[in-house]
Structures are given as structure tokens and as C-alpha cells.
Structure 1
């Protein structure tokens, strides 16, 4: 099953997705438009925004600032992530209880830098232990901004590209002719450890140097890599917090439906930061990593990663098309649609309120 593929926040999915020829995205949107007032209002606001060049300029300027942030801008980014982490924990008072074993809680922070979520965790629980994985600076990763993190015995950080963990994906043999043959990793970071909470907060970095074949597939590879690691490191009844985009996108709907089979879900969207954007976090509680559904999901995500990493353009396209069968979309909405509406309403309400206050909605 392909994963959520990220988002350009210049989302032009409405109204062009509502076409005479049904697509997975258009079917989901029609389903929601017929049933959810707050979603219809949000789509109307988006349409007004796309008709105003100020909207494009707003997000373009944000991308430029993010791509070319110097030390001051990077510190602002760290502080923003701390604030999002604090808001998440205020919204989830039980996000990090004592470990199931009665000791200090353990956290795995994937795509950790600049470290805002870890800082928020340690502020709430000074005895928590945090293991992190972060893209090296030499490959375009962010700098870790946690004060004195190198000397903090509670922290352990592995610097690597999380999308290149071939052994974790059950691919021990790499074709010699592959453009990334020398870059795959056969180690399995933090293997054998169980964590109470896993953050999957990675986003594709535009400044990350990577092989050409990865460009159209990287968001998929990144999310699949994080989800596999999370499910293979989470403790029974633990929590996973994952960054996603566009509640109404078919990829997102399918992923939420899958997660709902082995965990209890709720969605969180920061009110103070990124309220305009389509991004949000899914908080999966009471995760059952050894359930049949979880094991099936991990196997599917590994297959997705393998096709995106080693498959030809044709193989990749065919795999994607298999996932987009319209009968499957209808079946998921029949089973999961009411729950999707319950989960999505607060997210659409927050984004709609932010758009109404924006400078490019007239």
C-alpha cells in the first residue's frame, strides 16, 4: 500500500479533482463534500485562495526561507518545533506516561533534528530516555539544537538516511548496478529495543542531495521507512505520532484506515503553527504491533519501499495503479468513512479558521 506522499501546500486538489472521470481523490472529496459542512466551507476558502496570487506568494516565500535558513532561521525552526511539541503534549496529557515496565519512558524520535519534539518530551519528563535518527548535516540534514545534547546521557542519536536501511526492509542483497549501491545500510539501529512512543516527523528536504530516481518517490520512501521502523520498535500498547498531509487525499485515507485496524486514532493539528497548511499529525494509541493487521501493514510498506527503491518507472507506476482501484476506494469509504469524518472535522475546522484570517482570502 503506498503511503501518504506529502503535500505541496499550494494544494490545487479542488475543484480540479472533481472531474467527470472518477479518480480516488475525487471519490473521497465527493464523499466528504456531500456529508461535511466544515469540509465544504474549507474547499470554498481554498478556491478563493488559489484565485489570489498572494496565496502562491505566501507559500513560495515560506519555502525559500526554509531552504535558505541560516543560523537565526534554523533556531526559529527549532523553537517552532518545540512549540508544536508542547501543544501536542498539552492536547494529549497522557502522551508519555510511565513505561509499561514501570520505569522511565523511552522514546524513538525519527528524523529528530532540530530536536524540538525531544526537547518537549524532556521538559515534561526529565527521566525519559530518547533515541533519535537524523539525516547527517553532510547530506543536507538539520542541525540538532538541543542544548548540550552531545553530553546528555539520556540521548542517543544515530546520524543516517532512514530511507536507506535495506536490512530493516528485508533486502540484504543490493544490485551492484543500482545508483545508490554504495549508500545502503545493513545495520538496524536500536534493534531489539522497545519504545513507549515513536515520532515519525520526517519530511522530504529539498536541500537533501539524492539520486535522480528518488525524486518522484522520496515522500513515499520516507514515510514507509519511518512506519516500518516504528512498528518494529514500538512496545505493545505504545503510541506512534506521524506527520501526514491532506486528510481528504486517498493515500492518507487508506493509511488511516490501515492504522485504525491495530490502534486507536485521533488527529492533531497545531493551532499556532502551520494552521494554514494541510499538514497534521495522527496519534495512534494502544498500538498492537504483533496483530495480524500490523504485520500485514509492515509487509506491505516494505514491498512499497522496495518497488520505489529498486523498481523501474513502469513497475513503480503499475504498483501505484494497483493501489488506486476505484472499487477499493468505495470499500474503504463504506467501512471507514464515518470514522474519517469524525477524525477530520477538527483538522478542517482549524485550517478553515486560519484561512479566513489570512491575507489572501478576500
Structure 2
């Protein structure tokens, strides 16, 4: 019998505090140093945890009005990002996009550990109702068509919020993407009948990834102790994260754009994913919106000109895709019990090792991270001032 999962999140492999200190020992980065000190200030204030716990209780009882509010906020956020880094193709020709979103309002407000703690996590802190990015894109590009891929409401997903007048140009696929066989050629992967539809492969000029792990996900058979439930959620979260990358690589057209949300550019796995997208694309931009959650570590990355049809990029894409599929299978069905395992800090070494990130890629990582750290620090200054934290 499955049941929703409800508990605080556990820490993934590498925390942003340790990552920040490692970078600061190697380079003088004022933006990251300031942010690190602000995080330390937040950790020392015992009252903040109670504040976020109260907000979490409110968020756990979301209403239609709150869903509409966040739907509109995501449209504003998408406009801000597009104005800053031009996510949408500028040419006037029609295009198709894929929007992967499986988000939960239960994560809109989370405890202080989600924002300031020593535990870094993949981009799981939700900030929206489904469809905001799609709505903005369809409204701005009137000849554009889109496809949305979302967790069904019966499995904990949320209601479809897209405006009725836009729906004729939009196809919604309600599907738990973990039910797709994303690693059909990897030995040891259990037989799954559902394959990623051929009609989606290499089809989309733009792929949005803004789907995140749900605290209400109801498809995990969890029994026994709460610690077992926590571990099950970590396994689910990490496998979902890798599934998103596989689907994006499979579905983006050669030369297209991938836009995704990450957390803490200085830490694993965001630093490795930035490298991954940097290697596959012509142009990589990052942006942290100011319209929402400026004090959090989340930001958006936009990779343009992804996987053009050159021999070198075709080979690199195939190698990365094989590695991601092998990792996804291990996360889903590996571990001592064969029921999956969490991601470890060396799991993305087939892309780049942490030593390489801190070596030859460090200056590039700092270049990408500076505006994110600066914006988050500004957000924390305002947040602390509002709370009277000195």
C-alpha cells in the first residue's frame, strides 16, 4: 500500500557550506564570501526555523487561490528570466516546446534547513503551480505549440492551470516519468513496458525542466520506520533528477535550448550539471529571478545550441546519455536491497570529477555563480532586515 511521504528532507552528498569554503580557500570571491557569512548568520538565529515551520503548515493547506497566485508568479518569473537571458527563440518561426513539471505546493514554504542549512540539495524546493512557464510562452509566441509532462493528480500532482484559450495549442501528458523505461539497454534494469514516446524524441526546440520531487508522491511503497521513508524519498528524488536530464537530452532538437532550475552552483550536483550543459551547448547563461525566492539558493540555467549535429557533440551526447541511463538504473534498483540508492558525490564522474571542477573548471564556475550568489545575498539582506536579524 502506498502513502504520501511527509517529513523533513535529508542531506544529499555534498553540502553548499563545505563547497563554498573549498572555493573560498582557492579563490577570492567576494559574492560567495558575503553569502557564506549571511548563511552563518541565519544558522545562528534559532527563531528562523520556527518561522519557516509556521509557513510550512500554512502551505500544507494550499487553496485554489494560492495555486492561482503561484501560477501568476511563475509567469512573472518566466518573463523576468526571458527578458534577461532570452530563453525563447527570437526568430518569428513557430516552434514546439516541452515543459516538464511535477511540482507540489506543499514545498512552497519549507523549513530554514531548505534555505540556509549545511545540507545542499538538488533543485527540489517548489515555487509554482504547474503551467506558468507554458502559459507565458504560449502567450508571447502565438504560433508556438507545447507539450506538458506532469505527474497525475492521483499520484500527488496538481491540477492543470493553463488558461482554456491556450489549451488548443497544448498537449498535456499526465505521466509519472519514473514509470518510463529510461534505460532499456542497461543490464539489470527491470522490464518496464512504457517507453518514452517516439513522438517526443529530438522534437523540441525548447525544453523546460522545472519538475521537482514531491512530498506528496504516492507511488512509493513505504513501510516500517520513518527513517526508511526518508531514505525512500531521497532515492525517489535523486532518480527523478537524473530522469529529467535523460528526457531533456532525448527530446531536445539538435541545436535547441534546455532550461532547468538548479540549486547552489558551488555544490554537487549543480556544479557538475553546469559543466555538463556547458560542454554540450554553444552558449550557457544563468539567472536568478528577483521576483520570487531571492533568498533561496535556486537559480535557472539556459543552455542554447545544445547537441548540434557534429561528430564530436554526437559522440559526447551518446556518452553522457549512456552514463545517465546507467546511473538512473542504479539509483532506481541498485543498493544492498535492490530497491534503489541515493546519489553519491562520484556518480557524475563520467561527466566530470569534483577534482576537475575545482581545478580547470573553477574559474568558469565562479564566473557563472557570481550573479547567483550576489542576488541571493541581496535577498537575504532584505529578508533578515524584515525579520529584525542583525
Q: Provide the TM-score with structure 1 as the length reference.
A: 0.82
- Alpha carbons of structure 1 residues 58 and 304: separation in structure 2 relative to 1, 3 Å: farther
- Alpha carbons of structure 1 residues 257 and 233: separation in structure 2 relative to 1, 3 Å: same
- The 5 Å alignment of 1:284-323 reads 284-288=303-307, 291=313, 292-313=315-336, 320=344, 322-323=346-347
Structure 2: distance between partners of 1:158 and 1:134: 6
State the partner residue of 1:49.
42
Residues 172 and 186 in structure 1, CA contact (< 8 A), matched pair in contact too? no
- Alpha carbons of structure 1 residues 348 and 321: separation in structure 2 relative to 1, 3 Å: closer
- Alpha carbons of structure 1 residues 61 and 196: separation in structure 2 relative to 1, 3 Å: farther
What displacement does 1:93 show?
Answer: 3.2
Structure 1: distance between partners of 2:16 and 2:334: 31
- The 5 Å alignment of 1:128-147 reads 128-147=144-163
Q: Which residue among 42, 50, 60 is the counterpart of 1:67?
A: 60
Structure 2: distance between partners of 1:172 and 1:148: 44
Residues 109 and 132 in structure 1, CA contact (< 8 A), matched pair in contact too? yes
Residues 243 and 281 in structure 1, CA contact (< 8 A), matched pair in contact too? yes
State the partner residue of 2:24.
32
State the partner residue of 2:195.
186
- The 5 Å alignment of 1:216-255 reads 216-255=234-273
State the partner residue of 1:204.
213
Task: Give the unaligned 5+ runs of structure 2.
Answer: 1-7, 103-128, 223-230
What displacement does 1:126 show?
Answer: 1.2
User: Does residue 162 of the first structure (1) align with residue 177 of the second (2)?
Assistant: yes
Structure 1 SS opposite 2:88 = coil
In angstroms, what is the RMSD of aligned CA positions?
A: 3.1
Structure 2 SS opposite 1:210 = coil
Query: Number of matched residues?
Result: 335
Residues 14 and 47 in structure 1, CA contact (< 8 A), matched pair in contact too? no
Structure 2 SS opposite 1:335 = coil
Task: Give the unaligned 5+ runs of structure 1.
Answer: 1-6, 18-24
Deviates more, 1:42-51 or 1:295-304: 295-304
